Structure 1
Amino acid sequence: MAYEVEAPKYVRLAQTIQQRIEDGTYPPGTRVPSENQLVQAFGMSRPTVVRALELLKRDGWLESRQGFGTIVRGRPAVVEHEDRRGSEALARDETQASGRLVEVGQVPVPARVASVLGLPKRAEVLVRRFLVVEDGEPVELVSSYFPASLVDGTELRSAEPLSGGTRAHLEARKKVRFDHVTEWVSARLPEPGEAELLELPDGVPVLSVLVVASDAAGQALQVSDVLLPADRQELEDTYRLG
């Protein structure tokens, strides 16, 4: 059975706004409709609207100006699209994010994570698993793994949502410094529990973005496995040809 690949709602909204910028509905230099107006016009939740606007700002279509709101810049010379799943996973404030914490505890380290963290195959690590939900639809399952050396003296074991994001928490509590992120994207079939949380039909694969956040010396501080339903995603990149 074939499944139609559809972009998530915030991407579709961003694409609609892009089209209106290109056709002159939202001319350069003018303000885009407010968040409330966009929520009413498109029937989407505020988090979806906010995320769409953030995507357009990141790619250079819009900009925020103090005292003026969100202004149309026009079509960028080059749309430099960058997936930033890693930075989102590191900065996500679980107390404010749309979704819920579904698991916190010690688990056997997955093989890929063990390799990155330099741990033996039978070691255990702490996992914090967060399900991202938008407009009542699960869109991401983020499993973040932490080596034991970084867990003591932190709130990472708490089953309560963590405020401020794991990066800020670890840098404050453990005096470490995150320096760079490496991401690997692959496709696989989900485990039964993953498919249930993401509400996936049988046979639908997931995109797995393995995010490794390291310090300046290359020591991995956090590894996150971000699962995206493949039937609701699309990847886009625009680049210059030399």
Structure 2
Amino acid sequence: MAYEVEAPKYVRLAQTIQRRIEDGTYAPGTRVPSENQLVQSFGMSRPTVVRALELLKRDGWLESRQGFGTIVRGRPAVVEEKDRRGLEALARVESQTPGRLVEVGEVTVPARVASALGLPKSAKVTMRRFLVEEDGEGVELVSSYFAAGLVEGTDLAGADVLSAGVREHLEARKKVRFDHVTERVSARLPEAAEAASLGLPDGVPVLSVLVIACDASGRALQVSDVLLPADRQELEDTYRLN
């Protein structure tokens, strides 16, 4: 059984404010709501609000200006340069990617995916599982889940590889629009089938990147569980110190 620790409240608040900056609710050059307004709007304590704002200032989303308060700077350039597994999962074209489609079918939705999709734990969803390979070796196992209503009229339930990325395919067939992605990273031991696909010996953990792709209203259109062998990964980030 995999366990996932929920992000601290201040991190979740920072992510919410970040999404509002990205969707234009808080436009660059404007002031963000005051600490009192944020406390009242989100029902969080002042220390939590202060920590969230400081995190966003540190990462370049916000800045303090004398006499003006806290101002929106917009999406930092450094964010654009980071490796985003979510973008890869949405844009990857199966027919052009070294690897193979391991499994396609209707499955009972995993608990953490059910929560992201807003479905009961007993719900059935369509899953596409694709193994990315390099030199014949499995390096990434991507399991993508879709609610039943989104699959109708698409090729997502078919056994043939897609000739377009999932995002492009869904936007064309279902007239939906992907707006933002949330990624949650955790570590766990793989299930037997996952370990076999990735060629992992017993006891080697995987990094799980849960990619939640949503429309502008926040409705999850697709949830992908991207598994990476933990013994072959190294996470690195560089940022300025204030």
Specify if TM > 0.5: yes
Matched, 1:230 2:238: no
CA RMSD of aligned residues (A): 1.5
Partner of 1:211: 211
**2 CA distance for matches of 1:80 and 1:170?**
24
* Matching residue's letter, 1:143: S
**2 CA distance for matches of 1:196 and 1:135?**
17
Matched, 1:173 2:136: no
**Deviation of the 1:80 alpha carbon:** 7.3
Matches for 1:190-209 after TM superposition, within 5 Å: 190-209=190-209
Partner of 1:140: 140
**Deviation of the 1:199 alpha carbon:** 0.2
The runs of at least 4 consecutive aligned structure 1 residues that moved more than 4 Å come to 78-81
Q: For each residue in 1:168-220, what CA deviation from the matched residue of structure 2 results, as whole angstroms up to 9, or x when unmatched? A: 00000000000000000000000000000000011000000000000001000
Structure 1 gap segments, 5+ residues each: 1-77
Conserved 8 A contact 1:211-1:225: yes
**Deviation of the 1:131 alpha carbon:** 0.2
Partner of 2:157: 157
**2 CA distance for matches of 1:132 and 1:180?**
24
**Deviation of the 1:81 alpha carbon:** 5.2
Matches for 1:37-76 after TM superposition, within 5 Å: none
Partner of 2:121: 121
Conserved 8 A contact 1:80-1:238: no
**Deviation of the 1:231 alpha carbon:** 0.8
Matches for 1:95-106 after TM superposition, within 5 Å: 95-106=95-106
1:175–1:79 distance in 2 versus 1, CA, 3 Å: closer
Aligned length: 166
**Deviation of the 1:241 alpha carbon:** 1.0
Q: State the SS of the aligned residue for 1:231.
A: helix
**2 CA distance for matches of 1:165 and 1:225?**
16
Aligned sequence identity (%): 77
Partner of 1:36: none
Partner of 1:112: 112
**1 CA distance for matches of 2:80 and 2:174?**
34
Structure 2 gap segments, 5+ residues each: 1-77
Q: State the SS of the aligned residue for 1:95.
A: helix
* Matching residue's letter, 2:120: P
**1 CA distance for matches of 2:228 and 2:119?**
26
1:171–1:79 distance in 2 versus 1, CA, 3 Å: closer
* Matching residue's letter, 1:190: P
- Structure of greater relative contact order (alpha carbons < 8 Å, 6+ residues apart): 1
Q: For each residue in 1:1-20, what CA deviation from the matched residue of structure 2 results, as whole angstroms up to 9, or x when unmatched? A: xxxxxxxxxxxxxxxxxxxx
Tell me the TM-score normalised to structure 1 length.
0.67
